Amino acid sequence: MSERQPIDPDLRRYLDELAASAPAVADLDGTARAEVMRSNMVRALEKRDSIPGLPNGVITRDLEIARGFSARLYSPANATDSLPLLVYLHGGGWVAGSVATHDPFCRLLSEAAHLHILSVEYRLAPEHAYPAAVEDSVAAFRWAAEHAVELGADPARLALGGDSAGGNLAAVAANQLCSGTTEPPLAALLLLYPVTDDPSANHPSYTENGSGYGLDAGGMRWYWEQYAPGASPDDPHLSPLRMAHLPKLPPTFIATAEYDVLRDEGLAYAKKLKAAGVDLTHLHAPDMHHNFPVHPGTVARFPQSTQTFDEIAEWLRTTLR
């Protein structure tokens, strides 16, 4: 890696403002702390009015899908039959995110990339610990493949993606789906600053970016405790970086950020995919933080966020054309 660049000064001010307004959660138990974090993520929707194009012409429809859980389908206003479809898994540490918290991002991406997005409301920890979210992620993709035509999608152009913990689920689900011989085809994989390794690995970014950049090391460890209590850190269905042999994966996009506690495991996973011969596009933001191209408070505020968002949309258009 090149020499570490200073964090964007406007981003530094923004993160300091967020930290000053964040409620204390350290003394709460797992369930209460999860509820506070969920509320904090929903508060981010207050920023949506500052995002150009929201509300936009994207058409949404809430659905009941596999195993009785729900999802939201996003379609461009001028959608035609047989557009590509992205099954999207939201971030939030397997605990705090939802379809609602990622609604602005999915609306923007559906329009910009001109595709359908099925945003999945998978089960959350601590009420539903591992492997519930993995099971839901795999089931959602299979359901989307089975119902692609009635959703207006091309079953040969199905993508899977997610951010942070959702990126972890997308990576794990893709490894499972691509290992099977009778699974529906996966045409593209989108991993935005994904969780790929257990905190016990002690990657240097857990120390370098352990506090002061939004997602901190203590919070990430807490998320793991809620999601997979007592699980083996070597389980590749938890830590895809530890998978001995990767299956044949589709073209993959990975985004990482310098000032992210998850930086090094994301970089390591990109390296692992490249070594396995995956058609990889890797974008590293040298002065940004975790969640920079997705969070509704940053996606239109910082040029780096907008640029990365545009590159994500262009990659999806090109890969799924």
Point out the residues that are catalytic: 164, 260, 290
Positive or negative, the Cα torsion across 119, 123, 124, 130?
negative
Residues 6+ apart with CB under 8 A from 214: 15, 18, 289, 290, 291
* Other C-beta atoms lying within 10 Å of the C-beta of residue 273: 21
Instruction: Indicate the SS3 state at residue 70.
Output: strand
Distances (CA, A) of 254 to 67, 229, 311, 319: 29, 27, 11, 14
Strand ranges inside 164-319, DSSP E? 188-192, 252-259, 280-289
d(CA 77, CA 313): 16
DSSP annotation of 88 reads E
